[in-house]
C-alpha cells in the first residue's frame, strides 16, 4: 500500500484550443477534467502502474466533493479531510498550433489549526500500517513552512518512508527531517542555494550534502535534459528519452510516481530511476495530467542508459 498526500488538492481543467488569442475570443476544442494537485497526480500514475494506492490530504466545498467523485471514477480510494474552505480549480490551456501551455492556478482554501491537527492525527495512524508515502506540492494558506517537516517526522517515527517533492521553504525545511527521497528541479535547488542558476557541479555538491545528512535518494529532474541522481553509492546521470511532447504538466509528478513504484516494489535504485524518467516522459506525450501507459513506460525504460559520474 502507498499513500500520497495532497495538502492543496484541485480540480484540473484542461482546455485545448487551436491557437490561443490573448485578449481575444478562444473556442475550446477539447475539455479534460481530472482530480488534481501534485500528490493526486502521483496517485494516478501509481494506479496505472498497478499499485495499491490511497489519496490523503484536504478537500472542501463543492469542488472538494467533485475531487472525490473524480477519484472514485478512477477507482482510487481517498481519505481527504473535509475543510471549511473551497478547494481550488487549476486551469491549463493547451495551444495546439504553438505547442504552448498556459496555467492559471487558484490559491485554494486556508487551513485552520484544527484541520491541520486532524491531518497530523491521521498521518500518525496511517503510517503505522502504510510504509510508503509521497508528499507533493505547495502548502495551502494557513500552514507553517515546517508542515512537511512535521509529517515526515511522524512517518519516520513509525518506520515508514516518505518521498518529498515541493519547493521553497517547504522543501528546505522538509529536507531537514530526512525524507527517504527528494525530487527537486534546478530552479528549486537554485532557490535553496540563493543563486540565479545552478550547474552540474552545484547539483552534485548539494546532492552529496543531502545524502550525507540522511536523505537516501536525491533525484534532480532536469526536464528534457534527463536527471541526475545521488545516493550513497555515488553520482549518476541519465538522458531523457526522445518523445513527442504534448503537455509537460504533471511530468514531475509522474517521475515521482515511477520512482515510488519502483522503490516500493524492491527494484534496484538504478532501475527505479529509469522507471521515474520513463514515467515522466510518457506523461509528456499526452494532454492528460498524471497519465501514463504502462507498456510505453516499459519500452522507454529499455532505451534509458544511466552512467556513473
Known catalytic residue at 169 = no
Strand residues in the chain grouped as ranges (E): 2-6, 10-17, 28-36, 53-60, 78-83, 88-95, 100-105, 132-136, 161-165, 181-182, 217-221, 227-231, 234-238, 306-308
Give the CA angle between residues 199, 203, 209 to the nearest 5°: 145
The active-site residue out of 153, 213, 253, 293 is 253
C-alpha cell at 231: 545516493
* Residues 291, 1, 267, 235, Cα dihedral to 10°: 80
Residues 249/262, Cβ–Cβ less than 8 Å: no
SS3 at position 302: coil
DSSP 57-76: EEEEHHHHHHHHHHHHHTT-
d(CA 13, CA 11): 6
Q: Residues with catalytic annotation?
A: 253
Amino acid at each position: 500500500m502507498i499513500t500520497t498526500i495532497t495538502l492543496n488538492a484541485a480540480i484540473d481543467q484542461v482546455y485545448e484550443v487551436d491557437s490561443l488569442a490573448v485578449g481575444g475570443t478562444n473556442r475550446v476544442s477539447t475539455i479534460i477534467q481530472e482530480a488534481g494537485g501534485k500528490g493526486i497526480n502521483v496517485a494516478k500514475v501509481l494506479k496505472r502502474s498497478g499499485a495499491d494506492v490511497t489519496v490523503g490530504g484536504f478537500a472542501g466545498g463543492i469542488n472538494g466533493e467533485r475531487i472525490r467523485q473524480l477519484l472514485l471514477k478512477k477507482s482510487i480510494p481517498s481519505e481527504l479531510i473535509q475543510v471549511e474552505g473551497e478547494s481550488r480549480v487549476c486551469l491549463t490551456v493547451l495551444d495546439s498550433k504553438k505547442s504552448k501551455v498556459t496555467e492559471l492556478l487558484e490559491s485554494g482554501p486556508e487551513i485552520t489549526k484544527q484541520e491541520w491537527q486532524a491531518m497530523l492525527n491521521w498521518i500518525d495512524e496511517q503510517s503505522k500500517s502504510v510504509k510508503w508515502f509521497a508528499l507533493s506540492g505547495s502548502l495551502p494558506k494557513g500552514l507553517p513552512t515546517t508542515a512537511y517537516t512535521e509529517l515526515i517526522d511522524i512517518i519516520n517515527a513509525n518506520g515508514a518512508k516518505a518521498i518529498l517533492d515541493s519547493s521553497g521553504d517547504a522543501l528546505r525545511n522538509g529536507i531537514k527531517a530526512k525524507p527517504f527521497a527528494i525530487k527537486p528541479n534546478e530552479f528549486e535547488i537554485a532557490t535553496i542555494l540563493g543563486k540565479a542558476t545552478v550547474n552540474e557541479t552545484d547539483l552534485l555538491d548539494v546532492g552529496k550534502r543531502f545524502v550525507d545528512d540522511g536523505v537516501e535518494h536525491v533525484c534532480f529532474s532536469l526536464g528534457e535534459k534527463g536527471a541526475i541522481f545521488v545516493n550513497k553509492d555515488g553520482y549518476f546521470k541519465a538522458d531523457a528519452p526522445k518523445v513527442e511532447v504534448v503537455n509537460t504538466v504533471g511530468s514531475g509528478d509522474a517521475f515521482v510516481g515511477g520512482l515510488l513504484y519502483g522503490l516500493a516494489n524492491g527494484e534496484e535504485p538504478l532501475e527505479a530511476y529509469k522507471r521515474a524518467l520513463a514515467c515522466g516522459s510518457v506523461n509528456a506525450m499526452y494532454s492528460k495530467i498524471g497519465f501514463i501507459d504502462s507498456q510505453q513506460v516499459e519500452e522507454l525504460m529499455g532505451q534509458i542508459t544511466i552512467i556513473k559520474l
